[in-house]
Amino acid sequence: QKEVEQNSGPLSVPEGAIASLNCTYSDRGSQSFFWYRQYSGKSPELIMSIYSNGDKEDGRFTAQLNKASQYVSLLIRDSQPSDSATYLCAAQIYNFNKFYFGSGTKLNVKP
Amino acid sequence: DTGVSQNPRHKITKRGQNVTFRCDPISEHNRLYWYRQTLGQGPEFLTYFQNEAQLEKSRLLSDRFSAERPKGSFSTLEIQRTEQGDSAMYLCASSPKGQSQETQYFGPGTRLLVL
């Protein structure tokens, strides 16, 4: 079992819709969680971080964390074609200074 | 440009050759990470430095891989006797001192192709 699991997709949504991306993690020692966006051939770019249970909003993005269920999600409202990319979920086990990444979910936003 | 920089951006080598990559982190970031990413996968953790000390090393890192950060600034990753399976994107990331929950900033990566 991988430390962080994501559905590889692709997830296709029409422009203007809400895209919902999900991630589960296996290590209950994970304390911090991150969502990165990666365009093809480029390096990951941080979108959001979340550390506490509940929701965290930043513009069109909302991250949700449920530690009891070991579940992290990212909602993208009013999706734009420029949001089309691979979204990587990462978990940090703080005391060990390691980050574990999922394999990413490819999002396609159709005009 | 004050972001993380990596050189070279691309490297093509023949199997059995040695290669070395360089990473310059964001100024004053004391934490530095190396990752490897293959097509369709997320970045895999390789190693971590806090200042010049290498504090974590993945079991994925065979004896052919070595990393250094001699003065706590730039870092190098060397792969000896390269194999075709080493072909991947090698990513470096840095994070600043003092944050209890780290935010990593990635460099553009070095794409390695072993023929």
Query: What's the pLDDT tens digit per position in A18-60?
Result: 999 999 999 888 888 999 999 999 999 999 999 999 999 999 9
Q: Residue B102: list chain A partners with CB under 8 A.
A: 32, 92, 97
Q: Residue A32: list chain B partners with CB under 8 A.
A: 101-102
Chain B nearest C-alpha distance from A56 (Å): 15
Test A101 with B43 for CB contact under 8 angstroms.
Answer: yes
The tokens for B49 are: 């430095």
DSSP A51-111: -SSEEEEETTEEEEEETTTTEEEEEESS--GGG-EEEEEEEEEGGGTEEEE---EEEEEE-
Residue that the structure tokens 């770019």 belong to: A45
Q: What is the pLDDT of residue A94?
A: 66
What's the mean pLDDT in A4-13? 92
Q: Which amino acid is at B54?
A: Q
% of chain A surpassing 90 pLDDT: 78
What is the distance between the alpha carbons of residues A83 and B14, in angstroms, rounded to a whole number?
37
Residue that the structure tokens 């929701």 belong to: A55
Q: What is the pLDDT of residue B57?
A: 86
What is the distance between the alpha carbons of residues A110 and A82, in angstroms, rounded to a whole number?
10
For residue B60, which of A3, A89, A106, A94 has the smallest C-alpha distance? Answer: A3
Full pLDDT tens readout for chain B, 115 residues: 579 999 999 999 999 999 999 999 998 888 999 999 999 999 999 999 999 999 888 887 778 999 999 988 999 999 999 999 999 999 999 988 766 557 889 999 999 999 9
Q: What is the pLDDT of residue B62?
A: 79
What is the distance between the alpha carbons of residues B55 and A94, in angstroms, rounded to a whole number?
13
Q: Which residue of B has its CA nearest to A51?
A: B101
